Structure 1
């Protein structure tokens, strides 16, 4: 009897498809004991009865979606050095072939949305040109500078001596 139980456990009976016509005959012939025995051998784990497919992590980054749907690069918000030839080409297409040709060119390779001056540290051009030379230099400095040099006294003395030597010569 013990070997029959182990044999049934190893069978791994999950659903009625593994019994073939046995469960159908038990129902039609009214054999309740056989039907109850067959049902008791089914797995009660829902993961065994439900088809499960492996779910993988879907890459939904903007770049991956652009590759998947074969979209072009997004329109640049601000101009750069590559924007000027594109704009010149679109302007020439407008003058030679008309508005539909310029639109098609823009849809295929979008032009920059705004042409802002370069090398003005994101300031409007008139504001940048009204800054003093010291303020423009400070905008260009990337590292933080110390408030007061440690050897300021030595620098002042050296500068004074150099000035005295130059005036005497």
Structure 2
């Protein structure tokens, strides 16, 4: 019996066309049990019996559009470690060749819009240094602390009882 069930599961019966005349004979002869059994074997997933076309999704991310129209990278809003040498180069060009040279360098590769302090978790430096050590540590934690399970007491009692049973055996 078990192998018959697995055979029916693997058959992948989707609609009445796969049974041929079996349904019409069951209807004509009044065999309700056979008819209901055959209907129960049909797939209830609409995607099995409805033709569905696979749509290709067009990549419209900002990076893809920048590649397509050959645009340069946008100006960074915040500074990072790579911003400082670029700013130094632009300052050097300003002092040696003037404002047009510094502007040209900025237009070719723009530097960051603002230079914020680093390693302060996006807080102003005076606010970050005013935090306690515990608050700074909490800002640095990436994983959330696991919550205490609701049924902790029941788990502890069950563990104690199983330990007592093991020690008595």
- The CA deviation string for residues 3-38 of structure 1, in whole angstroms up to 9 with x for no partner, is xxxxxxxxxxxxxxxxxxxxxxxxxxxxxxxxxxxx
Give the CA deviation at 1:145: 2.2
Distance 1:61 1:145, change over 3 A: closer
TM-score of the aligned structures, taking structure 2 as reference length: 0.51
- The CA deviation string for residues 69-106 of structure 1, in whole angstroms up to 9 with x for no partner, is 22110000111100000000001000100000000000
List alignment gaps of at least 5 residues for structure 2. Answer: 1-55, 153-169
Write the distance in 1 (CA, Å) between the matches of 2:105 and 2:74: 14
Distance 1:67 1:147, change over 3 A: closer
Query: How many residue pairs end up in the alignment?
Result: 95
> How does 1:40-79 map onto structure 2 within 5 Å?
59-79=59-79
Which structure has the bigger radius of gyration? 1
Give the CA deviation at 1:129: 0.6
Q: 1:94 maps to which residue?
A: 94
- The CA deviation string for residues 109-153 of structure 1, in whole angstroms up to 9 with x for no partner, is 0000111111001100000011111111111112222567x8xxx
Write the distance in 2 (CA, Å) between the matches of 1:64 and 1:126: 39
Q: 1:143 maps to which residue?
A: 143
List alignment gaps of at least 5 residues for structure 1. Answer: 1-55, 151-169
